Structure 1
Amino acid sequence: MSSSDEELDAVLELPELGRTHSQVQVYENLFGNLNVPLQRTHSLMSDILEEESEIQSLQMEINESVNFVQKEIKQVEDKFKGQEEKLSSAKQGVREKFKKKKQDLLKKINNAKTRRQFDKITFYLALIMIQYKSFVLGMNPDNGVYILNLILLVLLLIWRNITYRLDNSHYYMMEFCYFANVILYTFIFFFPENRTLYLACFAFCCGPVGWALALVGCSFVIHNVNQLTSIFIHFTPMVLMMNLHWRTQYNEDRGWKLYDAKKDEFGWEFIKDYYKSAITVYLVWAVLYYLLVYVILKNRITERNYTTLANYHINKNSSVGKFIMKLGPNYQGLMYVGSHFLSVMVIFTVTLASYFNMWVNIVIMFLASSVSIWNGATFYMEYFSKKYEINLKKLEETEVDTDKSKSKKE
């Protein structure tokens, strides 16, 4: 029992006359004891109110800061929007200028007089280069022939890149045959002792790259740089790899190290290494091609109307194009790369026989090149002799009409 309770009981026991003074004292003590927690409660409440007011003031400061930051962000965004608009307009202006220059350049190239002179020069240089390459192949088959062909390849690819960009076809240069050429010269000049690259280069160059002369329909048209470049890209790697395999590797005085294919023997172990090497290097191209053409650069190709080999077949509605689109546009890339892989695998298998038999290698090269020569003969006899001058006259008439329209405007 507390002391206050005891005092209260004591007061109640007093007679009524004696209660008054004691009662007052007890009440004072009792209410005095109750006043202490009330004071504490009051002070706590005041502290809470002060803290709440501080919190409210902090919230107001935070809101003001947030509003300020939002205003600053909006101002920055507005500035960037203005800069983006300026940048996009500047880009558009550059593109328009480029298109105009491209059109002017195309007009100059397609000028009848220029075209005729250019075709003459191309014809002359092509025959001179065929003679010179044959001479170098016989005189210096171990070194000079590879250096000469590398120089020619670089020059032809530079020219092709320029001309293909004029008609939005430069993405053709991401196809497998270009990759195979890069791998071949990388092997010859940087990793000539690498067995994986040696086997892959033989499978590529004496296989699908060389076979493309017949399968793609290349034509040996001597006056046309575009046709000559295609012949060079497909036929030269086959010649170089054949020379490397059957001639260069047997010459101990060549002056540079080279993987020795003489120690290879036909068997399951070699077959496994052959396919492993060819497929591994091939997949480097296949993965890169798919990612670039169908993922990373897909929108760029579509927006700018660039042409790829797959799109060419699709627009032409060829059997290849129909097969590529069999599962719809979403699977176009997988169908193209997958069908390409299956076709080269078949050719890799046939090419395997060329590795151990020189005459099989020669016959395949002869057949592939014969088809391209026949295509060229067909072009000259059935098309060129009839339509070359007609096309040039059309160009001249177009030039005259253009000049007349310009003079009328002036």
Structure 2
Amino acid sequence: MPDTTQDSQGAAAPPRPLPALMRSATFQQRLQDLHSTTMARVEPLLESAGSALEDLGDELGVLFDPEAINEMLAHEPGKVPVSAKSQAALAAQEAVQEQAEEAQMHRMTKSLLDPSKIMLKDKLAFVIGVTNVALTAFWIGRWPQTYHWYWLFKDIVLFTLRYFIYVKQGMHYMMFEYCYFANLLSLYHLFFAPQSALLRKFAFAVMSGPLMWSIVAMRNSLVFHDGDKITTLMMHASPALSAWCMRWYPQPRWTAGMSPDQLAAYNSASWFDMAIAPAALNLVWVVSYYLIIFVLVGKRIQARGYQNMFTAMVERPSARKSALAKLVLSAPKPLQPLVYLSIHTFAAWLSLLPTKLWFDSFTLHTMVLAGVLLWSTWNGANFYFRVFAKKLMADQAAKAEAKPAAAPTAAAGGAADGKKDS
């Protein structure tokens, strides 16, 4: 109990602190004083040691930096004498190395610019492209129920080639786009769940909506000798063609054993089925794409200079003039990816709205699909004739420049003959 005493008037005095607590407070104060004194003495020593280590690190770093060594030798040539003979040998070695590099570059350039090799590659690509168009038309006309097998084969071959090419070019993150995701979903329905009425309408809306209209929006072109253009067109056109085949020429086994009510549900669709439910796929892709491209590997993409669809459509200098890029770039920097993905989602939803009309009408679906494919052919024709027109103009300009140069030569030759005759 605390020690309490009374003063002269008999009132109780306040309790006195215990001696133990007084000793604790004094000991704690002594520890704090000791810590302050120690740190005041040690900190200057640590700073001096740190400065010495930094100087030592700089000196040792020179040993691993050839540029620093050369700079030191240039400023202090007396410390490391180099004989004239050694300098001549070094210069000769550098000359031999430069000649070897130039020869290697010449061989590579000659190989890359060999007209026979370029022509052979273009010819093969052209033949394969024309064969693909003919085979696609024949397959759909003869076996429309199995066209998705041919589509699967093209997906495997072309997507595999594109992946290895894109990896070398730092563009492999572009294969996270919605169209690849939609291709996989549609192929899953056709190969693993063709009897599902829900997936049938879901896949039809995706293949006849965002994928088909991407041909128009992205200006896909039927250019036979360009593998990248052919792959992009295939990625959008093959699903659209397969949607036409599976809707109007389904395999009998898909509907075998269905009741009349199930068959009616299988071949009918509401606006909700075609325009609202498939939009969920786009939302799933948007969230996944944002987390992967802009959160998980965003710093990696920026640090290594990799490309994705956002950089290609918005940040690339040649794309900044487009209305899409201007709209996205007008937003604050952190919000630009979200603005881009919001526009992408809204455009995909708009393309879903008319898919019920295609699902209900064979004639309308056929006309729209034919019109979109004809548009890609028109884009290919524009590409070909634009390229050929530039080449033709260049040839004509070269000929026009050669004619004036040849005329003075002929005139000079005639004058010389006249002098000889005289």
| Structure 2: gaps (5+ residues) | 1-19, 28-104, 396-422
Deviation at 1:387, TM superposition (A): 3.5
For 2:82, the equivalent position in structure 1 comes to: none
| Structure 1: gaps (5+ residues) | 1-44, 53-102, 392-410
* Cα distance change on mapping 1:109 and 1:328 into 2, 3 Å: farther
Deviation at 1:329, TM superposition (A): 1.6
For 1:277, the equivalent position in structure 2 comes to: 277
**Pairwise mapping of residues 60-75 of structure 1 onto structure 2 (< 5 A)?**
none
Within the candidate set 193, 215, 225, 1:191 is matched to 193
What one-letter code is carried by the residue in structure 1 that aligns with 2:200?
A: Y
What one-letter code is carried by the residue in structure 1 that aligns with 2:326?
A: K
Between the aligned partners of 1:327 and 1:364, the Cα distance in structure 2 is 36
The answer on whether the counterparts of 1:200 and 1:281 sit within 8 Å (CA) in structure 2 is no
Between the aligned partners of 1:261 and 1:386, the Cα distance in structure 2 is 57
For 1:133, the equivalent position in structure 2 comes to: 136
* Cα distance change on mapping 1:120 and 1:256 into 2, 3 Å: farther
Between the aligned partners of 1:109 and 1:370, the Cα distance in structure 2 is 37
The answer on whether the counterparts of 1:206 and 1:238 sit within 8 Å (CA) in structure 2 is yes
For 2:227, the equivalent position in structure 1 comes to: 225
What one-letter code is carried by the residue in structure 2 that aligns with 1:350?
A: P
Deviation at 1:265, TM superposition (A): 7.4
Deviation at 1:218, TM superposition (A): 0.8
The answer on whether the counterparts of 1:219 and 1:373 sit within 8 Å (CA) in structure 2 is yes
Deviation at 1:139, TM superposition (A): 3.2
For 1:338, the equivalent position in structure 2 comes to: 342
Between the aligned partners of 1:302 and 1:388, the Cα distance in structure 2 is 41
What one-letter code is carried by the residue in structure 2 that aligns with 1:352?
A: K
Mapped pair 1:382 → 2:386:
yes
Deviation at 1:279, TM superposition (A): 1.5
Tell me, what secondary structure is at the counterpart of 1:164? Answer: helix
**Pairwise mapping of residues 9-28 of structure 1 onto structure 2 (< 5 A)?**
none
Mapped pair 1:293 → 2:316:
no
The answer on whether the counterparts of 2:220 and 2:376 sit within 8 Å (CA) in structure 1 is yes
How well do the aligned residues superpose, as a CA RMSD in angstroms?
4.0
Of stretches 129-138 and 363-372 in structure 1, the one that deviates more from structure 2 is 129-138
For 1:175, the equivalent position in structure 2 comes to: 177
For 1:370, the equivalent position in structure 2 comes to: 374
Percentage of identical aligned residues: 23
The answer on whether the counterparts of 1:220 and 1:376 sit within 8 Å (CA) in structure 2 is yes
For 1:348, the equivalent position in structure 2 comes to: 352
Between the aligned partners of 1:191 and 1:388, the Cα distance in structure 2 is 53
TM-score, length of structure 1 as denominator length: 0.63
Tell me, what secondary structure is at the counterpart of 2:278? Answer: helix
Residue-by-residue CA offset, 1:68-113 (whole Å, 9 max, x unaligned): xxxxxxxxxxxxxxxxxxxxxxxxxxxxxxxxxxx99x97995444
Mapped pair 1:305 → 2:305:
yes
The answer on whether the counterparts of 1:123 and 1:223 sit within 8 Å (CA) in structure 2 is yes
Residue-by-residue CA offset, 1:346-379 (whole Å, 9 max, x unaligned): 1111222111111121121112111110111111
For 1:146, the equivalent position in structure 2 comes to: 148
Residue-by-residue CA offset, 1:132-159 (whole Å, 9 max, x unaligned): 333333333223x222221111110011
Between the aligned partners of 2:200 and 2:254, the Cα distance in structure 1 is 20
Deviation at 1:262, TM superposition (A): 4.2
* Cα distance change on mapping 1:239 and 1:213 into 2, 3 Å: same
Of stretches 290-299 and 163-172 in structure 1, the one that deviates more from structure 2 is 163-172
Deviation at 1:388, TM superposition (A): 9.5
Residue-by-residue CA offset, 1:150-189 (whole Å, 9 max, x unaligned): 1111110011112222222222211111111111111111
Deviation at 1:271, TM superposition (A): 2.1
What one-letter code is carried by the residue in structure 2 that aligns with 1:384?
A: F
Between the aligned partners of 1:253 and 1:216, the Cα distance in structure 2 is 34
Mapped pair 1:213 → 2:205:
no
* Cα distance change on mapping 1:261 and 1:119 into 2, 3 Å: farther
Deviation at 1:125, TM superposition (A): 1.4
Between the aligned partners of 1:205 and 1:170, the Cα distance in structure 2 is 23
* Higher Rg: 1
For 2:126, the equivalent position in structure 1 comes to: 123
The answer on whether the counterparts of 2:122 and 2:225 sit within 8 Å (CA) in structure 1 is yes
* Cα distance change on mapping 1:137 and 1:366 into 2, 3 Å: closer
Deviation at 1:321, TM superposition (A): 0.9
For 1:34, the equivalent position in structure 2 comes to: none
* Cα distance change on mapping 1:272 and 1:123 into 2, 3 Å: same
Residue-by-residue CA offset, 1:282-327 (whole Å, 9 max, x unaligned): 2221111111111111111111111222222223231111122222
For 1:79, the equivalent position in structure 2 comes to: none
Within the candidate set 142, 156, 159, 1:157 is matched to 159
For 2:327, the equivalent position in structure 1 comes to: 323
Between the aligned partners of 1:276 and 1:107, the Cα distance in structure 2 is 55
Residue-by-residue CA offset, 1:23-65 (whole Å, 9 max, x unaligned): xxxxxxxxxxxxxxxxxxxxxx9xx9xxx9xxxxxxxxxxxxx
Tell me, what secondary structure is at the counterpart of 2:145? Answer: coil
* Cα distance change on mapping 1:238 and 1:303 into 2, 3 Å: same
Of stretches 192-201 and 281-290 in structure 1, the one that deviates more from structure 2 is 192-201
* Cα distance change on mapping 1:110 and 1:324 into 2, 3 Å: farther
The answer on whether the counterparts of 2:173 and 2:307 sit within 8 Å (CA) in structure 1 is yes
* Cα distance change on mapping 1:142 and 1:324 into 2, 3 Å: same
The answer on whether the counterparts of 1:205 and 1:238 sit within 8 Å (CA) in structure 2 is yes
For 1:36, the equivalent position in structure 2 comes to: none
